[in-house]
Amino acid sequence: MSQSHLVVLTGAGISAESGLRTFRDSDGLWEGYAIEDVATPRAWQRNPRLVLDFYNTRRRDVRAAKPNAAHLALAELENDYKVTVITQNVDDLHERAGSTNILHLHGEILKMRSDRDEKYIQEILGDMEEGALAPDGGLLRPNIVWFEEPVPLIAEAAKITNTADVFLVVGTSLQVYPAAGLVDLVPRHAPVYVVDKKLPPMAPHPRLHLIEQAATIGMREVLAALRRR
């Protein structure tokens, strides 16, 4: 008998407990920077040095962070389910926790790509330097889906969501689209679990299970509930 497919959508809340903050924690600022100055294509055109400095610092923060109990719990679920993690986060904490099937909707901070060809991607070993070129002559930029850019993997995420036997949302307020719209694509038969410190408004439904807790605490409840299924 094949394993049930557990599809997980994760957001900033799960990484916050590993010390990685996002702009939504501080009135539109991300570590003291306005989003339009460091996380848009216009910012890259206007001041690439500032953008690179910002992401070089964020990258060092990611490398220093460690997976927390919520990341580890998701990896543990692979013992009982076929698990696909769709994450809005750009860090590698899911990978380091042991999850093996991860789709990064918004890119990966430990990788860079050509600003001409988004399919030319390389890992970043140190800091990125201003003016570094890819083989195609394009400037190397962080492999991040910035604000005002399309989300190339959203169609693949939608297909994955359509195959869910169980759908789990962890650490996201479901306010960032198009990722938030994935919940509407979950098959009718699949139970949906939502874990967040501040739950978004959602219409009551028999298959909807809301857990208003931080990710590390809420995932304990999820594990217990899934073991009872």
**Residue 39 has which token pair?**
């996380």
**DSSP labels for 142-209?**
EEE--TTS--TTHHHHHHHHTT-SEEEEES--S-STTGGGGGGGS-TTS-EEEE-SSPPP----TTEE
Catalytic residue among 106, 189, 205, 209: 106
Q: How far apart are CA 175 and CA 181, in angstroms?
A: 9
Write out the E strands in 14-96: 29-30, 33-34, 82-87
Q: Which residues pair with 193 in a beta bridge?
A: 168, 209
Q: How far apart are CA 115 and CA 188, in angstroms?
A: 40
Q: Using an 8 Å Cβ cutoff, are 10 and 89 in contact?
A: yes
Helix (H) or strand (E) holding 215, with range, is helix 215-228
Query: Could you confirm whether 106 is annotated as catalytic?
Result: yes
Q: CA torsion sign, 174 to 176 to 177 to 179?
A: negative
Q: How far apart are CA 125 and CA 156, in angstroms?
A: 28
Residues with catalytic function: 106
